[in-house]
Amino acid sequence: MEQQTLRTTDILISGGGVAGLTAAAAFGAAGFTTICVDPQPPVTAEGEAGADMRTTAFLHPSRAVLERAGLWARLAPYAAPLQIMRIIDAGGAEPVARLTRDFDAADLSDEPFGWNFPNWLLRREMVARLAELPLVDFRPGVATTGLVSRESGAEVTLSDGSRVRARLVVAADGRNSFIREAAGIPVKTTRYGQKALAFAVTHPLPHNDVSTEIHRSGGPFTLIPLPDRDGLHSSAVVWMERGAEAERLAALPVPEFEAAMTARSTGLLGPLTLVTRRSVWPMMTQIAARFAAERVALIAEAAHVIPPIGAQGLNMSLADLSCLLGLAEKDPAHLGEAAMLAAYTRRRWPEVKAREIGIDFLNRASMVEPRPLRDLRAGVLGALYSLKPVRRTLMRAGLGVR
């Protein structure tokens, strides 16, 4: 009977979001038997209900993780490169650009900063990759519902009544992680009363591989390059505003919304046309008190949530994965044991905390309403940018390279 089934595996991954699917491909490709479960079957087409309208800009260091997982070759044909990160301050009396500064990847190397992809497309290619990996058992429609851990291993109960004994449980089950709670790991959460709208647009002027963050008040308005769409130039947009304003914007009739977003974009790419639905995401900063418990490792949003500034979120998650995989491969005989998990928390937690502090500061600076503070923000940006070593250090820190 199903109730009595007990499977053993090296790794059980709770959660098949972008982070969990990447982890399953990475561990499976590295020779670990891996089961990945998620109650929500992945939505793999843009037009389907529940499709994730966000995009992910994978920064340079993430490509190595995707390559090792056998994912990069599948994704590369759909990549929109990010060559320049442009920051515009439009915090003056009128909503127009008053300070523009370009961070060019060419100052660091021959490669772009990163590559942007729609999240629904990532899911499609990742699920297809898992089907090629004999060591991976992906089970959509199934949740983790129980966790009992011992020094020798963890036993996880699944919503279909089956049980799995794993040497390591990887929690990739999002900001309300079941595994994190079952393991008794508390979180510290800061809410901003702010929401992000995520959608795609087309526009008459080319983006020229420039990702642009425009600051006025309420939070940044970011245009991120996408490949052309039906012969038209296209970008993804993340528009952060105070909660009530974001809800108002999300409910506006399309022509009014298009006029509002074109004005907020300072008209940079010409009139913007909405080509997908608008999805709304509450903004928060959240960090788990530690990233591991007995036989359990937290990765991605189960471990940390930050506002989408500087394309950090999922890139931090792939850095979690890279660290965990490196430790697992270095000493596979002791997978999931206390020393390995202590090393994981020791390496990742301080790095994540530092990034969380930085992003929290940038978000608060972008939200400011009073004019004197907006003027100060523009002044600080101009001053930091004018110092070349500082500019290079900021770029390298943003990428997560030393």
Q: Which of 17, 220, 225, 336 binds ligand FAD (CB under 6 A)?
A: 17
- Total of chain residues touching ligand FAD, rule CB under 6 A: 34
Q: How many residues does the chain have?
A: 402
Can residue 81 be called a binding residue for ligand FAD (CB under 6 A)? no
User: Half-sphere exposure of 316 toward its Cβ, with a 13 Å CA cutoff?
Assistant: 30
Site string for ligand FAD, 25-64 (x = CB under 6 A): ------------xxxx-------------xxxx-------
Burial class (CB in 10 A: 0-12, 13-18, 19+), 184: exposed
SS3 at position 255: helix
Q: Which of 301, 363, 366, 398 binds ligand FAD (CB under 6 A)?
A: 301
- Record the tokens describing residue 310, joined without a space: 């500087």
Smallest separation, CB 111 to ligand FAD (Å) = 17
Q: What's the Cα-to-Cα distance from 399 to each of 7, 115, 374, 393, rounded to whole Å?
A: 40, 12, 26, 10
Site string for ligand FAD, 90-109 (x = CB under 6 A): --------------------
SS3 at position 251: helix
- Check: CB of residue 362 under 8 Å from CB of residue 309: yes
- Check: CB of residue 168 under 8 Å from CB of residue 297: yes
Can residue 317 be called a binding residue for ligand FAD (CB under 6 A)? yes
Which C-beta is closer to ligand FAD: that of 128 or that of 380?
A: 128
Q: CA-CA distance, 2 to 160, in Å (whole number)?
A: 8
Smallest separation, CB 14 to ligand FAD (Å) = 4
Can residue 15 be called a binding residue for ligand FAD (CB under 6 A)? yes
Site string for ligand FAD, 145-184 (x = CB under 6 A): ---------------------------xxx---x------
Name the one range near ligand FAD by CB under 6 A: 102-110, 247-255, 290-298, 308-316. Answer: 308-316
Smallest separation, CB 317 to ligand FAD (Å) = 6
Q: What's the Cα-to-Cα distance from 77 to each of 71, 72, 122, 227, 361, rounded to whole Å?
A: 11, 9, 12, 10, 36
Site residues (vs ligand FAD, CB under 6 A): 14-20, 37-40, 54-57, 143-144, 172-174, 178, 196, 198, 238, 281, 300-301, 308, 311-315, 317
